[in-house]
């Protein structure tokens, strides 16, 4: 136990407000916190400390209960186990935003992954995720898990929706990326480019979620309104969906996007066909082999996958996008090399001259589109006051002619003739918003 953990435990014992929890439960909850989280909670109010600890203890209790219940599970869909089988072991692995992940083992040597929903999900959402993964598995070279069962009802032994899928071999890229030399990293980037070209073979004329029953794209869940919308027929419709009409700044942002779209030819990087876009292609969702020439063994977590414009489909992997961040030295220069390598591999694996031209156009990244995705699409669920400041920052950047597309840009990195006061305004907006996000626990 660290000194900080010991201090927190002593403080909680002195306040005596959590008598319904055991000392072991509280200690486990504290030890799961990062040093930064512990430092923050050490200075928090008694009410905040109790709320945070209580949430974590309840979460741990739920995970323990699910672990016990999964050992009694007897519905496995198409999982190849003998009739009447039950798991011989269950191991908790991790938790995502909307589900817990467990590994089930059977006496026959078979293993599978159980993904259990943390809260009720619309049935069509879960089915869309499962059906899209199966579509990708059948029609592309991308390694994704086989889905054995998608249980959309909560009338089962777990009392929750769950999905059973194949256990994929490999280590998380997140755990090994920083230990690799440039050659190993280039090997993974080459594979990602190859998989993207393979995925481009699946083409759709609408924006939405794949539906197997009609072999087409259907409605999708708008996380802003929690209602199903679409499918959509244009990128501009998609942009509008992320701009609340009641906010004054929304009309200004929409005008910027409409002007951009009006300058494009009829067939462009935003027009159909649309492609399936992985919603969270971070290193934690990529499994790799550990070898001198590593390969990707699985791409996971396709939750909420849907189709979108080609500009956003042909995109650098998120972990090599940083081109204007305050990172220093080797990491930044390595990213530049890997981005160029990714473009080269994309072009090499293209299946026609037309696709090469398309890829070339899509990889000419600009702030109007890339900034809209990173700044606005990713922040639409924020409180309205903060979201308005995000919109204001985007408008300032567009009017200033910002060229960099991905990361926050510091004033000394900007070369432009615009009044530097505009840039300072934008930076102040970013700082104010980040401070409020910290207070609301949106970021850590």
pLDDT tens-digit series, residues 227-250: 888 899 999 999 998 888 888 899
Contact 218, 322 (CB under 8 A): no
Percent of the chain scored above 70 by pLDDT?
Answer: 84
Instruction: Identify whether the C-beta of residue 202 lies closer than 8 Å to the C-beta of residue 135.
Output: yes
Check residue 97 and give its pLDDT: 77
In DSSP terms, 151 is beta-bridged to: 162
Q: What is the pLDDT of residue 266?
A: 72
Identify the pLDDT of residue 28.
75
Higher pLDDT among residues 89 and 82, named by residue: 89
- Residue 418: the pLDDT is 37
Residue 121 has pLDDT above 70, yes or no: yes
d(CA 307, CA 232): 10
Residue-wise pLDDT for 180-233, tens only, equals: 989 999 999 999 999 999 999 999 999 999 998 888 899 988 877 778 888 999
CATH topology of domain 71-167: Phosphorylase Kinase; domain 1 (3.30.200)
Residue 82 has pLDDT above 70, yes or no: yes
Three-class secondary structure assignment of the chain: CCHHHHHHHHHHHHHCCCCCCCHHHHHHHHHCCCHHHHHHHHCCCHHHHHHHHHHHHHHHHHHHHHHHHHCCCCCCCCCCCCCCCCCCEEEEEEECCCEEEEEEECCCCCEEEEEEECCCCCHHHHHHHHHHHHHHHHHCCCCCCCEEEEECCCCCCCCCCEEEEECCCCEEHHHHHHHCCHHHHHHHHHHHHHHHHHHCCCCECCECEEECCCCEEECEEECCCCEEECCECCHHHHHHHCCCCCCHHHHHHHHHHHHHHHCCCCCCCCCCCEEEECCCCCHHHEEECCCCCCCEEEECCCCCCEEECHHHHCCCCHHHCCCCCCCCCHHHHHHHHHHHHHHHHHHHHCCCHHHHHHHHHHCCCCHHHHHHHHHHHCCCCCCHHHHHHHHHHHHHHHHCCCCCCCCCCCHHHCCCCCCHHHHHHHHHHHHHHHHHHHHHCCCC
**Residue entry with tokens 């777990």:** 158
Q: Where do the domains of the chain lie?
A: 3-69, 71-167, 172-440
Residue that wins the pLDDT comparison between 405 and 324: 405
Read off the pLDDT of each residue in 159-188 and give the average, rounded to a whole number. 93
Beta bridge partners of 229: 220
pLDDT digits (tens, 9 = 90+) for 4-50: 555 556 655 555 556 677 777 777 777 777 777 767 766 777 777 77
More confident residue, 100 or 36: 100
Contact (Cβ atoms closer than 8 angstroms) between residue 21 and residue 13 = no
Kindly report the CATH class assigned to 172-440. Answer: alpha beta
Q: What is the pLDDT at residue 434?
A: 47
Question: CA dist 182 to 9, 29, 174, 185, 191, Å?
Answer: 45, 39, 15, 5, 14
Report which of residues 407 and 62 the model is more confident about: 62
R_g (Cα) of the chain, nearest Å: 24
The 10s digit of each residue's pLDDT in 344-388 is 999 999 999 999 999 999 999 999 999 898 888 877 677 878 888
What per-residue confidence (pLDDT) applies to 12? Answer: 58
Least confident of 38-52, 114-128, 256-270: 38-52
The number of residues making up the chain comes to: 444
Q: What is the pLDDT of residue 268?
A: 84
**What's the whole-model pTM score?**
0.82
Q: CA 433, 99, 111: angle at the middle one, nearest 5?
A: 140
Give me the mean pLDDT over the 300-309 stretch: 92
């Amino acid at each position: 136990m660290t000194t900080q953990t010991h201090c927190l435990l002593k403080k909680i014992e002195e306040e005596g407000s959590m008598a319904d929890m055991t000392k072991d439960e509280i200690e486990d909850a504290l030890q799961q916190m990062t040093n930064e989280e512990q430092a923050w909670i050490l200075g928090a109010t008694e009410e905040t400390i109790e709320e945070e600890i209580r949430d974590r203890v309840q979460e741990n209790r739920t995970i323990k209960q699910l672990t016990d219940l999964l050992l009694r599970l007897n519905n496995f869909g198409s999982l190849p186990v003998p009739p009447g089988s039950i798991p011989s072991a269950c191991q908790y692995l991790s938790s995502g935003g909307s589900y817990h992940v467990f590994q089930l083992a059977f006496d026959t040597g078979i293993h599978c992954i159980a993904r259990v929903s943390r809260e009720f999900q619309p049935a069509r959402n879960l089915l869309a995720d499962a059906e899209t993964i199966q579509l990708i598995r059948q029609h592309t070279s991308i390694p994704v898990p086989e889905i054995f069962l998608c249980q959309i009802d909560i009338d089962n032994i777990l009392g929750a929706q769950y999905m059973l899928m194949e256990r994929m071999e490999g280590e998380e890229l997140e755990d090994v990326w920083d230990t690799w030399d440039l050659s190993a990293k280039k090997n993974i980037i080459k594979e990602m480019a190859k998989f993207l070209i393979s995925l481009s073979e699946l083409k759709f004329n609408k924006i939405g979620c794949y539906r197997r029953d009609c072999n087409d794209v259907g409605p999708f869940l708008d996380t802003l309104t929690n209602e199903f919308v679409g499918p959509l027929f244009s990128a501009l419709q998609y942009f509008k969906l992320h701009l609340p009409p009641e906010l004054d700044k929304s009309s200004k942002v929409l005008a910027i996007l409409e002007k951009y779209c009006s300058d494009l030819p009829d067939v462009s990087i935003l027009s159909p066909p649309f492609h399936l876009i992985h919603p969270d292609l971070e290193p934690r969702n990529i499994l790799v082999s550990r070898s001198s020439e590593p390969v990707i063994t699985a791409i996971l977590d396709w939750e909420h996958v849907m189709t979108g414009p080609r500009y956003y489909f042909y995109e650098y992997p998120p972990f090599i996008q940083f081109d204007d961040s305050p990172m220093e030295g080797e990491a930044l220069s390595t990213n530049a090399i890997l981005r160029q390598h990714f473009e080269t591999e994309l072009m090499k694996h293209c299946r026609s001259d037309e696709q090469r031209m398309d890829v070339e156009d899509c990889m000419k990244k600009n702030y109007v589109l890339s900034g809209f995705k990173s700044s606005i699409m990713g922040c639409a669920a924020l409180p309205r006051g903060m979201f308005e400041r995000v919109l204001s920052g985007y408008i300032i950047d567009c009017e200033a002619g910002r060229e960099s597309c991905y990361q926050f840009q510091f004033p000394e990195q900007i070369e432009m003739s615009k009044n530097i006061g505009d840039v300072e305004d934008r930076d102040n907006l970013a700082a104010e918003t980040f401070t409020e996000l910290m207070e609301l626990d949106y970021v850590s």
